Structure 1
Amino acid sequence: MKKAILKTSLGLAVTLASTQLFASGFALNEQSISSMGTGFAGRSSSAEDASTVFGNPAGMSRLKREQVTVGGAAVIAKSDIDGHSNLGGTSDGDMVPVVGVPMGYYVKPIDEHWSVGFGVYVPFGLVTDYESTAASRYYGKKSYVEVITFQPTVSYAFNDKVSIGFGPTINKIKGELSSNTVNPFTPGSNDGEVKVKGDDTAVGYNIGVLVQATDNTRLGLTYHSMVDYKLEGDTKINNALIGPFSGNKYDAELKIKTPESLDFSLTHELNDQWTLYAGSTWTRWSRLESIIINSDVPAPLAARFGTITEEQNWHDTWAYAIGAAYKLNKEWTLRTGFTVDQSPTNNTDRSPRIPTGDRKVFSLGAGWSPNDDMTIDVAYSYLWEEDVNINLNNPTKGSYNAKYENSAHGVGASLTYRF
């Protein structure tokens, strides 16, 4: 079959509505519950537990005992949608189900210089799932993505002031997305559906530096690399109007790069009880300009069911966070933090798959250490976004105009055990 190019507004399974996320774009922040409690301020400089494998691999040098940290977070999102299409449809909102984000880390000191570790976490992902009659269904119905990362890691302490860390990342991505197709004879009814699935495995790396600048102040810098994916899967078109072609699967391919990021933070121990944190993160979202899917769908079907290229034109973003921890006694530590985070989307190209704006996050957390061997961390975050508008018009899919009001609650817990 002759290969055709599906330039589709289905987009990519990783260009998701990020109302369910606590980081910009389709990134996730929930790789550490202890960091979640401070709004992720000080993420690359705190090195509280084994989750520093992600936050800053150089921080493993501060962990003097072998330990494991396991945990998870749940994100509960809410979207109020005031939208309509000239082809009809509903706007129920709350298109994001409750989603869990697992994590697990292990660190073992070898000697006074070397430490090794391993991490499993989810850096990108989650899902949006609109109702079957949604007014936005021609521009996006269901989007699902999951990126799972495995990271073996090593750190080296030059002395008690400076350490470095490095870890390659093995990243497994899989996704599914679907949109309805318009019946040309009775628009707005008897819809068909186009569904795309794909997966890939690719390699990246994380590298970090940790500096004990003074007796009370640490500085951390962590770089998470870009990862270059080539998703391979299939495209399936369900529409009675195409007769024997309906329900068939056709090979599909999509190239995408998840962005690199740079995290800088500081941790300052004010006294025996108070610790202050601050941090900023730059993410190169400008890598996502547009989406093109290459597919073996026969050319007549591609012309009929494919759509124009979905322009993304995302821009680079900055996030800023401040936080504090108060050591109540030997067993309890209380935390809080506040984060502001830019959205990479723009008012012209924003779609119902990514109806996100700039956001603010308020966080609370606590750590309980009943003994020297175990710590249980819990955290809660509340996110609210600026209201955003979507205004799309396509000769085939009709118009879609909507206002989104997005917010989310995040809860998490982890257990650290030291051997």
Structure 2
Amino acid sequence: MRLYKQTLLAVAVAAASSQAFAAGFQLNAQSATGIGRAFAGDAVIADNAAVMGRNPAAMALFDEPALSLGFETITTKIKVKDAKYCGPTCTLSGGLVPATSVPDTDDVGGTSVAPNIHYIHPINDKFAVGVNAYSNFGTKTEFASDYIANEYGGLTDVLSFNLGVAGSYRLNEQWSFGAGLDLIYGQGTLKRDPSAELSGAIAGLMPDAAGKSLLDVDTADGFAVGFNVGTVFELDENNRFGLSYRYSPEFDAKDDKGQEITLPLPDIAEFSGFHKIEDTKFAVHYSIQYIGWGSFDKISFRNLKDSVLTGSYEKEYQWQDGWHYSIGGTYYLNNDWTLRVGYMYDTSAQDSLTSISVPDSDRQWVSAGFTYHIDSKSNIDLGLTYLMGDDVSVNEKTEIEGVGQVSSVSATTHADAILFGLQYSRSF
């Protein structure tokens, strides 16, 4: 019976904590300019100081100080439909008690705001330095408190903030190199309550745990240190290539109750190209980006308090590396206006293991934006992206040693998003 109690509770928290990995969703919140072209060519275009967030070597392309500051909003629309929840009573009855149909929901997503600022200062014709602050990862999802399969929902609100310092060196007219350090601050809230049926089962098995949340981590935060390196190759003034790599560390966060969460963040590598067509007002640019989601093996919880599960717990995952493929175009209309569009295909981090609480899938990005040049030294950028996900069929079940399957859920999930960015840039 002791094994049954421990395993049932571990399984419940495993399902409940799945959405925590949504904290690892990549935001690409460096600039409104990038949003307007689906981030195609962002590691080498260098049309404002925000490029240092993608490739520190690109700071060598600036011959005067440059500042960019702005914000991005991320609005997610998540649907969970055709769901059926088979709780302990249904599962342990051997099919005599039917699964419960769960009403469709489309109000799971939310809106997050991510600010950004970048400053590049050339020292001479060889060296440049820069500082920046922006967000690389984050998400917000919230299920209604009366959701029937409540342990699969709950609240997740997580955002990381990256404070960076970098330097670049121009070797010659063609090659430049750069490197930087990142101080990463993360903050998040993760709350999961059991469904009414699961609450009854917990009360019967462990009376001392009756009425407690499955998981309640309130505003956990912490710091980690990473680094980034890059290079730029300039074929001529109209054609150049960029390559960059960013190391993202394993991240630890702790709340006021001493509860700790550890999750790895993915490393990122990017290759970009920019080509302005000679004697025209048009340029084409592209990027291939690798995101090392495969390094994410588990989320670790320690010192859990005020919840059903106490002590330590680890949730295993089976994620795969992701890729972004993007292409875009820029049209230099006149001295006042620059127009841009872009398209990205973004592969899912999930493989065979899916979850109702992690609505991830392959995605398509359609983007448009513009720059309005206030004068020769300053401009305003606006970017808009519509991100379209795919339907994903989910079938989850939980099993315990000596008992077999104790619960299951099936559903179809779908996630779309809208990204909006506004930015002011100035050179000095």
Match of 1:71 in 2: 70
- Measure the CA separation in 2 of the matches of 1:116 and 1:139: 46
Query: What TM-score results when the alignment is normalised by the length of structure 2?
Result: 0.84
SS at match of 1:344: coil
- Measure the CA separation in 2 of the matches of 1:367 and 1:40: 15
Structure 1 residues 111 and 76, CA gap change in structure 2 (3 angstroms): same
- Measure the CA separation in 1 of the matches of 2:150 and 2:191: 9
Match of 2:263 in 1: 256
Structure 1 residues 393 and 118, CA gap change in structure 2 (3 angstroms): same
- Measure the CA separation in 2 of the matches of 1:404 and 1:323: 29
- Which of 284, 290, 305 is matched with 2:292 structurally? 284
Shift of 1:191: 6.2
Runs of 5+ unmatched residues, structure 2: 1-5, 88-99, 204-209, 401-405
Match of 1:138 in 2: 151
CA contact (8 A) 2:301 2:314 kept: no
CA contact (8 A) 1:174 1:199 kept: yes
Shift of 1:222: 1.0
Match of 1:241 in 2: none
Tell me the alpha carbon deviations over residues 329-373 of structure 1, each in whole angstroms, 9 at most, x when there is no partner: 1111110110001001124x3223321100000100111113111
Match of 1:85 in 2: 85
CA contact (8 A) 1:142 1:178 kept: yes
RMSD between superposed Cα atoms in Å: 2.6
SS at match of 1:58: helix
Match of 1:377 in 2: 381
Please state if 1:117 is matched with 2:125. Answer: no
Tell me the alpha carbon deviations over residues 281-319 of structure 1, each in whole angstroms, 9 at most, x when there is no partner: 011111112223122559x9537x99x853321011111
CA contact (8 A) 1:16 1:144 kept: no
- Measure the CA separation in 1 of the matches of 2:201 and 2:243: 58
Structure 1 residues 388 and 296, CA gap change in structure 2 (3 angstroms): closer
Shift of 1:192: 4.0
Query: What TM-score results when the alignment is normalised by the length of structure 1?
Result: 0.86
Match of 1:231 in 2: 253
CA contact (8 A) 1:312 1:350 kept: no
Shift of 1:180: 1.3
Match of 1:28 in 2: 27
Match of 1:196 in 2: 217
Shift of 1:401: 1.6
Please state if 1:337 is matched with 2:353. Answer: no
Shift of 1:12: 7.1
- Measure the CA separation in 1 of the matches of 2:192 and 2:308: 15
**Length, aligned pairs only:** 388
**Greater alpha carbon shift after TM alignment, 324-333 vs 406-415:** 406-415
Shift of 1:78: 1.6
Please state if 1:354 is matched with 2:341. Answer: no
Shift of 1:403: 0.7
Match of 1:268 in 2: 275
Shift of 1:233: 2.9
Q: Percent identity?
A: 26
Structure 1 residues 14 and 92, CA gap change in structure 2 (3 angstroms): closer
Structure 1 residues 13 and 327, CA gap change in structure 2 (3 angstroms): same
Shift of 1:267: 0.3
Tell me the alpha carbon deviations over residues 216-269 of structure 1, each in whole angstroms, 9 at most, x when there is no partner: 2100011110212222336xxxxxxxxxxxxxx5x3333322111100010001
More helix by share: 2
